[in-house]
Amino acid sequence: MEPIPASDLSLIALQAELRATAYQALSRLGQGGMGDVFEVEHRSLRRKLVMKLLREPNRPDLEDRLRLEAQALAQLAHPNLLQVIDFAHTSAGRPFLVTERLYGRTLKEEVGLTGTLATHEAVSFTCQALAGLAAAHRAGVVHRDIKLDNLFVCQGDDLTPRHVKVIDFGIAKLVGAEGNAAGVSVDPLAVPTAEGIMVGTPSFMSPEQVTSQLVDHRADIYGMGVVLYRLVAGRNPFICRDLIEYAAAHASELPEPPSRFATLPPGLDAVILRALEKQPADRYASAKEMIDALAPFASARTSAPAIAPAPRAPAPEPQVDARPAALATQVLTASSLSAPAARTTQRMAASLAGHAPWNAFSTVQQAVAPRARSTMTGIEIVALVVAATSAGAIVWFALILLGIL
């Protein structure tokens, strides 16, 4: 996102609101449905950070969500998760969340509208995001809004390759820690999300989300399946016009294998389609299990680039002269073939076994209906031979036929 000039009125207002805090505003990076995103600098540490600021004060429901995101992420230390630095309020009472400053772009920006990534790169980014989600899931945090916009590709350098971080846990759900893992400790929501409310992004939502059923970490597995499908196929599993169509598709339609739209290594279809199973119990049981399933496709040496295959051309037709081809059409629609002519055909087949031009004629002959083969005339046989063989074979056939007739 391009920084917005310092003359922006919202930036000037924020600078005044932050006067009593540890941060000073530098530029506005973008905006969302609930608030704005700014680049800020810590006054003492001179560290550049990002501030997510709610646009409206006195919104307990939105502040609840921002606080939960801050408290949950602050307790999750993982290289593939966004690092939270602070949560506080401006002098005007607006809550804000401060995170590390990331440099790079989202996966959505990385692939554009219809682009793809090389298979090994798509798998690598997917596994990195899954690793971050695995840490969140162990602590009982379900993201619920996995999509290309919420996976950020950080710039690399000579020592560190490009890597992905999962961002924006704004509609995360707490479901309890897994096994003996320590769960995050957050204050309860003052305004809990109402039951039966559809939460997420329609094109990436799991079947249980679109049908307002109980959601757990396997909803994120489904979302990552959609992400990987998009990265290698250049399109989502379902292309719909509105929320209702997406809900119906995710709930009941079977997606086409992604290899229908791109060249993929064998076996990758099965991995992606398992992540997209309608029933959570049929998907991977954990993010770690999906990472293990993707491991064979992570190498640049063993995985094919995810490029759209060339349109499949129909099988080439035998190259024949137009005039005998017209006669051949009559042969294929004929309704009579004499017994002597049938015997002649058999003799020709025996004589020409292994001769290349005969193969084309044999293929055509096999396509003739059994009844037609029993009633064709000798002249029509000649027409069929002329239509299905090369010029040299035609001369050879003519000599044989002259000896017979």
- Is the CB of residue 338 less than 8 Å from the CB of residue 375? yes
Let me know if 64 is a catalytic residue.
Answer: no
From the candidates 36, 145, 168, 220, which is the catalytic residue? 145
Kindly list the catalytic residues: 145
